[in-house]
């Protein structure tokens, strides 16, 4: 998987991809190639690709001793601004007020064939024999700094994992001002910059920018990866579609502030970079101290968007999410939030759980309002003990009653927040993230953010949660985070003479520390991530939480766009989907139970309904739906997902499919948002995953794979005013399910 062609050339490859690194004339790491597997290559091949004999016009020589060589026109692995490269770089270091001009030269390399999982820091992992890593040791002797750059290549995956570590070898303190996780330099191949952006209630919609000379970037400065932008980005050649196109993508295993940037120079060379956002960031390094970046993933596929989804999904499932959840079905949950909001007690909730048990629910999740005196969303955060008015026998007794019904039990926490009226705030007002001027304290959603850069805060919250988890024998946690960070100031850091620009990174490390403590003591608990919906949907959270609440908007029409975008970078199993009330509580859209269910069943399924307000027919339908879901649960959670229709520009129609290569079975679901008058009944959707020489059962009909692949599945007959007897869908917000089985 890793060949050292000679002392200056390194060939990383597996069954799918190749990545070639070489040493530049000045001793820096150069980039030669990333993409489709090259097969056998020699040092002569690499030398031909990377010739530096002709310096581009308008460039400055790196030094007088190396003729015709400038970094500005070279593809680099560790680009740094200012030493003849004038584009943004990955690394910037200062000593006092002086910026250092860095010159990292290759010293040595080591190769390892193991990558264990470590709960302390989210990163990719692999079993022995499934991964090979090479670490380059680079040093700048004048500035007394060491840089270690690691690349990991995984068996049969089109993904490279990359991380960097900087060590201060000198006696003087150094300050990191910029340290991104990595860069990819290459020729701009008529790319568009694809990113997943939006807002609360409409997260991760697919957006694109054309790439010409200049810079395009997205990022977050909210202390979380955010509703507005996501650290997953891609380079999509114009003309690509679901099935074809050489797509390059990057993602960050991190949950805090990030920057994703592309820059195109005057020769149409492109640099894509990803990492911790340099704004509001610095890190002081004493002698021998180190700083390690979050891990960056680089993905490649030649099979368009469906190939990209297959790659990112398989990698996250196998090498990011905890192995205990690999191919393990998740419980069908009933969440009480929209059924009761804050108005409940032991008896009312138990009756709801009993009704849920009758229709096939596996887990009852008690949402916000069970603790302190939480009758609204402005009080009691930070006081993680049960409200005796609602649970006179205690929360442990309620948990026991739920378990005796044969159900799993889940609870909602928002551990990173505190209410101004809470007991915790009264005791420890210094634990809040806030401006030193008390007259200017910002408050959002009636709550403050706890200072998770302070280990004492993390320990206090953990001890409170530990008592509840232990006493209730808890199975499931919904971990929420409803407020972004403002006035990022820590009294703890000030007391310890730590620069406030270290706060954001220290904060997210504190969040990871709480996850680590919970999962170390309670390894079987399932944690569902949530941040006001999808405000922290990233690989850092997925490392600890195998599924995430993708949006507070459970409207199925909005979820079509949210899920189609999110699936470009994250697996189907990571979705937590709820069938909720109609009209929808977020947008007041009226939709059928059928389409709400058909959208929600793609991924882990849940319900958020007041079952006592439903008719007998609706309850029977939900019971039938859950039986159907459980029949295909593994397929709907872990099957390979395909987009059968174009999704780039938020279409009126969606075709979703899941298929399992071993069982040769699949499900296809067609969605139409708005109806069309007098539509054609001769429209088809091509099915790319069938085999042409096989026959398939399609909702009971025997159809050739040749027909399905080259012509397609017939779209359901739409009502056109004269076909009422045979129309299969009618009106706005249509959905139709096809069961597919190879014969």
Residues assigned a catalytic role: 480, 552
Give Cα 726 to chain centroid, integer Å.
43
Burial of 423 (0-12, 13-18, 19+ CB in 10 A): middle
SS (HEC) of 610-644: CHHHCCHHHHHHHHHHHHHHHHCHHHHHHCEEEEC
- Cis before 12 (ω within 30): no
Question: What does each C-alpha distance from 665 to 644, 670, 691, 693, 697 come to in angstroms?
Answer: 16, 17, 12, 16, 9
Nearest-angstrom CA–CA distance, 284 and 499: 8
First to last CA, the chain: 39
Q: Which of 501, 541, 539 is nearest to 178 (CA)?
A: 501
Residue 433's φ and ψ, nearest 5 degrees, are -80, 115
Nearest-angstrom CA–CA distance, 274 and 20: 20
Whether the Cβ atoms of residue 525 and residue 474 lie closer than 8 Å to each other: yes
Q: Which of 70, 94, 73 is nearest to 281 (CA)?
A: 94
Whether the Cβ atoms of residue 589 and residue 555 lie closer than 8 Å to each other: yes
666: left (phi over 0), alpha (psi -120 to 50) or beta: beta
Whether the Cβ atoms of residue 407 and residue 356 lie closer than 8 Å to each other: yes
Q: How does DSSP assign 265-289, residue by residue? A: -TTSEEEEEEEE-STT--EEE-TT-
Whether the Cβ atoms of residue 353 and residue 363 lie closer than 8 Å to each other: no
Nearest-angstrom CA–CA distance, 56 and 75: 13
β-bridge pairing 191-199 and 202-210: antiparallel
Q: Which of 509, 337, 492 is nearest to 410 (CA)?
A: 337
Question: What does each C-alpha distance from 319 to 124, 127, 130, 659 come to in angstroms?
Answer: 5, 9, 10, 21
Whether the Cβ atoms of residue 149 and residue 171 lie closer than 8 Å to each other: no
Nearest-angstrom CA–CA distance, 82 and 442: 39
């Amino acid at each position: 998987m890793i060949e050292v062609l000679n002392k200056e050339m390194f060939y990383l490859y597996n069954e799918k991809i190749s990545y070639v690194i070489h040493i530049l004339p000045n001793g820096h790491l150069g980039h030669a190639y990333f993409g489709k597997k090259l097969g056998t290559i020699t040092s002569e091949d690499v030398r031909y690709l990377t010739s530096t004999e002709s310096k581009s016009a308008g460039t400055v020589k790196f030094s007088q001793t190396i003729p015709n060589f400038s970094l500005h026109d070279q593809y680099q692995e560790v680009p740094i601004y200012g030493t003849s490269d004038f584009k943004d770089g990955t690394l910037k270091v200062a000593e006092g007020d002086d910026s250092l001009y860095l010159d990292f030269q290759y010293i040595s390399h080591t190769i390892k064939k193991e990558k264990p999982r470590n709960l302390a820091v989210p990163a990719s992992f692999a079993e022995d024999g499934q991964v090979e890593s090479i670490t380059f040791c680079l040093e700048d002797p004048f500035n007394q700094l060491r840089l270690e750059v690691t690349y990991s290549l995984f068996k049969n995956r089109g993904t490279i994992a990359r991380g960097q570590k900087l060590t201060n070898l000198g006696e003087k303190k150094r300050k990191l001002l910029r340290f991104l996780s990595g860069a990819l330099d290459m020729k701009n191949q008529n790319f568009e910059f694809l990113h997943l952006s939006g807002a609360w209630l409409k997260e991760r919609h697919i957006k694109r920018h054309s790439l010409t000379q200049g810079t395009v970037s997205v990022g977050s400065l909210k202390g979380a990866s955010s509703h507005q932008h996501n650290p997953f980005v891609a380079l999509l050649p114009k003309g690509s579609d679901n099935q074809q196109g050489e797509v390059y993508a990057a993602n960050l295993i991190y949950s805090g502030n990030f920057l994703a940037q592309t820059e195109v120079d005057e020769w149409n060379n492109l640099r894509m970079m990803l990492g911790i956002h340099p704004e509001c960031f610095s890190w002081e390094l004493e002698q021998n101290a180190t700083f390690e970046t979050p891990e960056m993933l680089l993905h490649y596929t030649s099979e368009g968007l469906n190939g990209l989804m297959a790659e990112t999904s398989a990698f996250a499932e196998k090498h990011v999410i905890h192995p205990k959840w690999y191919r393990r079905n998740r419980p069908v949950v009933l969440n009480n939030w929209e059924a009761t909001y804050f108005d409940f007690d032991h008896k009312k909730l138990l009756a709801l759980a009993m009704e849920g048990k009758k229709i096939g629910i596996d887990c009852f999740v008690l949402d916000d309002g069970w603790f302190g005196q939480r009758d609204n969303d402005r009080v009691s955060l930070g006081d993680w003990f049960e409200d005796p008015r609602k649970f006179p026998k205690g929360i442990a007794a309620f948990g026991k009653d739920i378990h005796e019904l044969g159900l799993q039990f889940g609870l909602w926490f928002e551990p990173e927040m505190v209410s101004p009226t809470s007991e915790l705030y009264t005791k420890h007002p210094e634990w809040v993230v806030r401006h030193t001027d008390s007259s200017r304290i910002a408050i959002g959603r009636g709550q403050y953010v706890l200072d998770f850069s302070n280990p004492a805060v993390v320990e206090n919250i953990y001890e409170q949660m530990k008592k509840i988890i232990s006493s209730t024998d808890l199975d499931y946690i919904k971990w929420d985070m409803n407020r972004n960070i403002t006035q990022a100031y820590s009294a703890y850091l000030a007391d310890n003479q730590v620069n406030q620009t270290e706060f954001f990174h220290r904060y997210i490390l504190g969040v990871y520390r709480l996850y680590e403590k919970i999962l170390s003591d309670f390894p079987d608990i399932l944690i569902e991530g949530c941040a006001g919906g999808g405000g922290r949907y990233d690989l850092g959270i997925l490392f600890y939480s195998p599924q995430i609440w993708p949006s507070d908007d459970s409207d199925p029409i909005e979820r079509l766009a949210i899920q189609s975008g999110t699936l470009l970078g994250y697996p189907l199993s990571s979705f937590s989907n709820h069938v909720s009330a109609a009209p929808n509580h977020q947008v007041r859209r009226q939709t059928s139970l059928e389409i709400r269910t058909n959208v929600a069943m793609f991924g882990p399924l849940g319900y958020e309904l007041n079952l006592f307000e439903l008719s007998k027919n609706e309850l029977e339908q939900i019971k039938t739906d859950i039986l159907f879901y459980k029949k295909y649960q593994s397929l709907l959670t872990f099957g390979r997902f395909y987009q059968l229709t174009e999704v780039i520009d938020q279409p009126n129609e969606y075709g979703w499919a899941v298929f399992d290569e071993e069982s040769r079975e699949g499900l296809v679901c067609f969605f139409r948002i708005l109806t069309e008058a007098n539509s054609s009944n001769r429209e088809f959707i091509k099915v790319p995953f069938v085999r042409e020489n096989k026959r398939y059962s399609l909702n009971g009909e025997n159809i050739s794979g040749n027909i399905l692949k080259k012509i397609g599945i017939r779209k359901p007959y739409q009502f056109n005013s004269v076909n009422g007897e045979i129309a299969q869908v009618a009106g706005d917000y249509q959905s139709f399910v096809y069961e597919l089985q190879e014969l």
